[in-house]
Chains A and B, each alone.
Chain A
Amino acid sequence: MEYNEELVAAITKAVLQQINEQNVSQTDRQHIGSAKTSYANARLAEKSTNPKEVVVGVGPAFQREIKATITGIPLDDVLRNIKAGIEEEGMVPRIVKVLKTSDVDFMGLEAAKISGSGVGIGLQSKGTAVIHQKDLYPLSNLELFPQAPLISLEMYRAIGKNAAKYAKGEKVTPIETQNDPMVRAKYQVKAALMHIRETEQVDPKIPIIVWEEA
């Protein structure tokens, strides 16, 4: 079994610190974060007819409340690599933020539904990703990357590429599955805290908004 002990120690420390701060301040034990960001004036994302398009639906806390994945990869870099992957295949990325849900499968499906090609990517702020297609069942998918701690920037780029290939109707070889059987022991508590943070930002009244202008 291989793991980076320093990294694990650093994360454990960071999480504990966060928890201790919560316990000390006690000002608001009902939320992990501070005030909710308002998207009341945001522009709702619309369905497109451009068949060259792959829509990336990012999570409610993406790039605002949460700026890096569970292993600390900056979300700006994650998004840049996914977009590069899509563009390398000659397709066009469109970035929206899903506020209706924080579930990665449903986020991916929402993105796919408004995508001109019918293919979308769901991307949680902790880094979990899915490639979805508009006609699939919500909890099914084209490719799922459930273990966020194992996803590198190269893999995010490959996820963008594969999504674009599905959009073009090509026969696609799925990205080789990664598995770390100890991932739960190392990251599940942190995953829970990050997901709670993300879920605090859910707002079903503003289901899906424009996140990056084209």
Chain B
Amino acid sequence: MKRSKRIETLDKRPVNMDGFINEWPEMGFIAMKSPYDPNPSIRIENDQIMELDGKTRDQFDFIDQFIADYAIRKDRAIASMAMPSLDIARKIVDISVPRKEILQIVSGITPAKMAEVINELNVVELMMGMQKMRARRVPGNQAHITNLKDDPIQIAADAAEGALRGFSEEETTTAVARYAPFNALALLIGSQVGRRGVLTQCAVEEATELELGIRGLTTYAETVSVYGTEKVFVDGDDTPYSKAFLTAAYASRGLKVRFTSGSGSEVLMGYAEKKSMLYLECRCLYVTKGSGTQGIQNGSVSCIGVAASVPSGIREVMGENLVAALLGLECASSNDQSFSNSPMRRTARTMLQFMPGTDFIFSGYAAEPNYDNMFAGSNFDAEDFDDYNVMQRDMQVDGGLKPVKEEEVIAVRRKAGKAVQAVFKYLGLTEVTDEQVEAVTYAHGSKDTLKRDVVSDLMAAEDMMKRNITGVDIVKALAETGFRDVAESILNMLKQRVIGDYMHTAAILDENFNVMSGVNTPNDYMGPGTGYRVEGKRWEEIKAIPHIIDPNNF
């Protein structure tokens, strides 16, 4: 066939490099509704749920049982289940129905009913729902702070810059797993140099992550994964009950924790049991709710390539974010994984969370160039900072970030590097040279930094754990090496776990360590003239982008 030049041009567009697949429910490649999804049902006898979504108690797998026993309000179930799904969907977008009333209704419905409700909503309605149902009044944002070399100086510098730019939480992970203690330590220090009160976590194997948290080297945890089918849980040597124990372990030390789930994981693991991604994600979110954890990171997350490959997949992703909010959970709404070669498509995907605002729009945004992102690439990276800031300004939307000045960026990066250098020396870890700090201060990514001695770093990181170094040792090291302000910040972060208020739903801290959560600053949106509006000081901040034409120069 003679080829059309138009079609040839289109074939070469980045979007045609993406992976697409037809719906195939038998293998789980189905976004919103599978012919094999169960119909909603519930039967309660003697205050026990005896039937859930078409299965009787003797047919329950452990997820059904966990949900039946812990995640549904039995006192509200009969009334809520009697309400048509379409009516519930309409109440969600009706500005005259307050968030609280929706939370009450939804607390009595089953996962299959929840999926049915979401199926009634188009993307704009899902966004309207999120605008009202988000837990915290003011939206927030989270950063990824990682690099190819696991260079602790760069982690500290990127964390400081990220905090300066407005991220309320920062998450690291490793290229080499054994670097975890260094990454956690560097992130903790760097974040507080950039802006006091930023929360930090290190996403690694669960037992290691817990230990870092207990030691005070991190201030929250997120990598507690739950799945929608029993087989995937079992494959990971886990159950909903073991995840609930893990939640309790964090809570016992006063640490904020959220779970992680997301559609597509069951497909990717080969155990979707023919169910839709939305229905399986509903099960994950009910397990999350039932375990007593305050929040979730969801929105397909690392399996976004699967959700995005099927029709209505990106709508489904927003749908599952809304389910989290409907269950009263903090929602850190993904946008954290590259999934498309098309800049247009990746931007469009993020608008669904950006415009209504979620508790954390990204979880997280790569605050380094994507080649350094050790979560295999985020949907937005450091090279998109200015685009993002302009989008906030264009639409008068609070996406959680702000424009910064170059001299401030350089100053906080250098200070963070120097602080880590001092702590490493004080604690007898590996050497950090002045040249390394200087290179990192002005660097964009790890291609601009110096090489580190990996073997020595890994030995020192292991030794640091063996010596039982804790957050208090870091405070002491900073205080005695001239970084008293940073020491005080970290001490304040440690105090949070004694106070415990930041374990409330969707909590973040301001620069004076005051908690802002869904409890003390709840979302009160009920249509025009209500809820959070971008105005005053915050609007001035958003407006102040660089590269503005100065009429005086003509």
Interface magnitude class on chain A? 35 or more
CB closest chain-A residue, reference B458: A174
Contacts A/B (CB < 8 Å), 19 sampled? A3-B17, A5-B12, A12-B19, A23-B22, A103-B235, A106-B237, A140-B177, A172-B455, A179-B374, A180-B376, A181-B373, A182-B341, A183-B377, A185-B341, A186-B19, A190-B19, A192-B267, A196-B267, A199-B270
Q: Which of B54-62, B103-111, B301-309, B421-429 faces chain A?
A: B301-309
Q: Counting CB contacts under 8 A, is A173 at the interface?
A: yes
Q: A12-B19, A186-B17 are in contact. Are A171 and B459 (CB under 8 A)?
A: yes
Complexed CA–CA distance, A19 and B29 (Å): 12
Complexed CA–CA distance, A138 and B454 (Å): 23
CB closest chain-A residue, reference B304: A184
Q: Counting CB contacts under 8 A, is A144 at the interface?
A: yes
Task: Please state if A185 and B455 are interface contacts (CB–CB under 8 Å).
Answer: no
Task: Please state if A103 and B339 are interface contacts (CB–CB under 8 Å).
Answer: no
Q: Produce 1/0 per residue, A93-115, CB < 8 A to B.
A: 00000000111001000000000
List which B429-478 residues lie within 8 A (CB) of chain A.
Answer: 454-455, 458-459
Task: Please state if B22 and A19 are interface contacts (CB–CB under 8 Å).
Answer: yes
Complexed CA–CA distance, A201 and B397 (Å): 50
CB closest chain-A residue, reference B366: A181
Q: Counting CB contacts under 8 A, is B207 at the interface?
A: yes
Q: Counting CB contacts under 8 A, is A137 at the interface?
A: yes
Task: Please state if B19 and A185 are interface contacts (CB–CB under 8 Å).
Answer: yes
List which B276-330 residues lie within 8 A (CB) of chain A.
Answer: 302-306, 309
Complexed CA–CA distance, A29 and B270 (Å): 14
Complexed CA–CA distance, A62 and B271 (Å): 19
Contacts of B178 in A (CB 8 A): 142
| Most A CB within 10 A of own CB, among B235, B237, B305, B378 | B305
Complexed CA–CA distance, A198 and B21 (Å): 19
Task: Please state if B270 and A196 are interface contacts (CB–CB under 8 Å).
Answer: yes
Task: Please state if A181 and B377 are interface contacts (CB–CB under 8 Å).
Answer: yes
Q: Counting CB contacts under 8 A, is A141 at the interface?
A: yes
Q: A147-B376, A171-B459, A179-B371 are in contact. Are A186 and B177 (CB under 8 A)?
A: no
Complexed CA–CA distance, A139 and B224 (Å): 12
Q: How many residues of B contact A (CB 8 A)?
A: 55
Q: Counting CB contacts under 8 A, is A44 at the interface?
A: no
Complexed CA–CA distance, A107 and B180 (Å): 23
Q: Find B455's partner among A19, A173, A198 (CB 8 Å cutoff).
A: A173
**Shortest distance from the beta carbon of B382 to any chain A beta carbon, whole Å:** 12
Known: A171-B459, A179-B374, A183-B376; 8 extra A-B contacts, CB below 8 A, are A101-B235, A137-B208, A172-B455, A179-B175, A179-B371, A180-B376, A189-B305, A192-B306
Q: Counting CB contacts under 8 A, is A200 at the interface?
A: yes
Complexed CA–CA distance, A171 and B381 (Å): 35
List which B359-382 residues lie within 8 A (CB) of chain A.
Answer: 366, 370-374, 376-378, 381
Q: Counting CB contacts under 8 A, is A158 at the interface?
A: no
Contacts of B340 in A (CB 8 A): 185
Q: Counting CB contacts under 8 A, is B249 at the interface?
A: no
On A, residues with C-beta under 8 Å from B are 3, 5, 8, 12, 15-16, 19, 22-23, 29-30, 32, 101-103, 106, 137-144, 146-147, 171-174, 176-177, 179-192, 195-196, 198-200
CB closest chain-B residue, reference A146: B376
Task: Please state if A29 and B24 are interface contacts (CB–CB under 8 Å).
Answer: yes
- Judged by DSSP, the binding face of B is loop
CB closest chain-B residue, reference A101: B235
Q: Counting CB contacts under 8 A, is B268 at the interface?
A: yes
Complexed CA–CA distance, A150 and B176 (Å): 16
List which B192-214 residues lie within 8 A (CB) of chain A.
Answer: 204-208
**Shortest distance from the beta carbon of A30 to any chain B beta carbon, whole Å:** 5
Task: Please state if A179 and B270 are interface contacts (CB–CB under 8 Å).
Answer: no
| Most A CB within 10 A of own CB, among B17, B208, B309, B339 | B17
Q: A182-B341, A188-B305 are in contact. Are A143 and B176 (CB under 8 A)?
A: yes
Q: Counting CB contacts under 8 A, is B82 at the interface?
A: no
Contacts of B540 in A (CB 8 A): none
Task: Please state if B339 and A195 are interface contacts (CB–CB under 8 Å).
Answer: no
Contacts of A12 in B (CB 8 A): 17, 19
Task: Please state if A187 and B26 are interface contacts (CB–CB under 8 Å).
Answer: no
**Shortest distance from the beta carbon of A121 to any chain B beta carbon, whole Å:** 16
Task: Please state if A102 and B376 are interface contacts (CB–CB under 8 Å).
Answer: no
**Shortest distance from the beta carbon of A186 to any chain B beta carbon, whole Å:** 6
List which B249-283 residues lie within 8 A (CB) of chain A.
Answer: 264, 267-271
| Most A CB within 10 A of own CB, among B177, B370, B371 | B177
**Shortest distance from the beta carbon of B228 to any chain A beta carbon, whole Å:** 15
Q: A23-B22, A198-B270 are in contact. Are A5 and B208 (CB under 8 A)?
A: no
Task: Please state if B270 and A189 are interface contacts (CB–CB under 8 Å).
Answer: no
Complexed CA–CA distance, A101 and B269 (Å): 11
Task: Please state if A186 and B205 are interface contacts (CB–CB under 8 Å).
Answer: no
Q: Which 7 A-B pairs have the closest CB atoms?
A: A181-B377, A188-B305, A199-B270, A189-B19, A181-B370, A177-B175, A140-B205
